[in-house]
Amino acid sequence: MNQPRIARQKRNEQPKSGRNLRKTLLVLGAVLAMCAGQARAQQTLGDLVEEAGLNWMIGSWVTTTDEGEKIQLIYKWELDKHLVTIQVKMPDYEYRGMIFYVPAKEQVVQVAVDNRGGSGKGVWEPDGDKAVMKIEHTGTDGETNRMGLVHSKVNAETMKMELYAMESTGELAEEPWATLEYKRQRPKTRKEDK
C-alpha cells in the first residue's frame, strides 16, 4: 500500500534537473536585471564634465612660450564620451594620454606616454570653475616629477594653465612656477587651406 503513495508523490514532483534549471534561470534573470539597472545609473566621464561645467576645455589650443616655442594642446572626446584623449605637441616633444572615469574609485584618471619613453599617471578634480590635474611623470631614467596643472577659462577663446610643484602628499605649492595662456585653435576651412 505504501508503494502507490510514493509513486504518486514522485509523479507530482518535478525532476531534480528541472528544479535546478529553473533556479538557475531565476538567479540569472535577477543578476541581469541588477546589471542593467547599474549600467543605466552609472555616470560617464561626459556626465561629470557636463556637471562640473568644464566642457569648454574640449578642443584644440595653442600657445607660444617666452622662448618662442609653439605648444599645441588637444582634448578630444572618444568612445561616446567615456574617454578624452589628450595630445601635447612641441617641436621636439610629444605626449599622448587618455582620461577616463573609474566608477569603483569615483576618480577621473589619466595615463599617458611621451615620445622619449616617459610615462605619467594622475587624477583630475574640479575645483570651483577650474580643472586640476595632479600627475606624476616618470622619465626613462626613473626620475619622477610631480606637478599640478590648473586649467581655468578666461573667456570662450582663452584658457589659462598654471603649473605647480606638487608634494608627495598631493598638496600643490602656494604659487605657480609657470603660467601659460592658450588660445582656442579653430579648424581650418577649405578656403584657408588653399
Question: How far is the CA of 100 from the CAs of 4, 34, 43, 88, 180, in angstroms?
Answer: 68, 24, 11, 17, 25
Cβ neighbours of residue 172 closer than 8 Å, sequence gap 6 or more = 132, 134, 148, 150, 164, 165, 166
Does 25 share its domain with 56?
A: no
Measure CA 71 to chain center.
23
pLDDT score, position 40: 42
pLDDT score, position 165: 95
0.85 surpassed by pTM: no
Query: DSSP letter at 172?
Result: B
Tell me, yes or no, whether 11 lies in a domain.
Answer: yes
Q: Which residues pair with 122 in a beta bridge?
A: 110, 135
Does 84 share its domain with 152?
A: yes
Does 80 share its domain with 27?
A: no
Does 10 share its domain with 88?
A: no
Q: Is residue 128 left, alpha or beta, with left meaning phi > 0 and alpha meaning psi from -120 to 50?
A: left
Does 125 share its domain with 77?
A: yes
pLDDT score, position 102: 96
Measure CA 44 to chain center.
9
Does 85 share its domain with 148?
A: yes
Does 26 share its domain with 117?
A: no
pLDDT score, position 79: 96
Tell me, yes or no, whether 194 lies in a domain.
Answer: no
The segments of the chain whose pLDDT lies below 70 read 1-42, 189-194
Residue 88 — φ and ψ, nearest 5°? Answer: -120, 130
Query: DSSP letter at 174?
Result: S
Tell me, yes or no, whether 31 lies in a domain.
Answer: yes
Does 70 share its domain with 26?
A: no
pLDDT score, position 14: 52
CATH of the domain at 116: 2.40.128.20
Does 37 share its domain with 60?
A: no
Does 84 share its domain with 23?
A: no
Does 88 share its domain with 182?
A: yes
Position 56: which residue type? W
Give the number of other CB atoms < 10 A from CB of residue 2. Answer: 6
Alpha helices in the chain (DSSP H): 2-12, 16-41, 45-52, 190-193
Cell representation of residue 87: 595630445
The domain total for the chain is 2
pLDDT score, position 39: 44
Does 134 share its domain with 167?
A: yes
pLDDT score, position 186: 86
Q: Does residue 135 contact residue 144 with C-beta atoms inside 8 Å? A: no
Which residues constitute the domain of residue 112?
Answer: 46-189
pLDDT score, position 119: 97
